[in-house]
Amino acid sequence: MPEHLYRLIDEVPIVLIDQPTPEMLRDLGLDPADVFALDEICGLHTGIPITEDSVEFSGDLPTVIHLFRRGLLGIASDEEGRVDRETLNREVRITILHELGHHFGLEEQDLDDLGYG
């Protein structure tokens, strides 16, 4: 990862959990019972993007980037469940950059255009 991005990451906690919570899935407009969604979601940015941050949001929960082990391992695994470390490392990097993009106010189309979709 580029060196200057490490300074940005220092400002936003990154939390690794097994999978999105039902509340996270509902917030994304997904059915918590949809097991396929659990296999596909690798990360989530929660909080206010810095482009929208102001004193009005001072009582809101802090910004956090969540990484989801289940989605990341699902993408990095072959049909027999063996994890390819190179693929896993690439997906973790892409997911962190994708979620940092949301932190800086980028939309999904912007991230797709940058190759972090």
Count of domains observed in the chain: 1
Grade residue 2 by pLDDT with cuts at 50, 70 and 90: low
Q: Of 54 and 3, which is predicted with more confidence?
A: 3
Instruction: List the domain range (segments joined by +) for residue 76.
Output: 3-53+60-114
pLDDT number for residue 106:
77
Q: Is the pLDDT of residue 29 over 60?
A: yes
23: domain CATH number is 3.30.2010
Q: Is the pLDDT of residue 53 over 70?
A: no
B/e letters for 11-24, b = 16+ CB within 10 Å, e = fewer, are: ebeeeeeebbeeeb
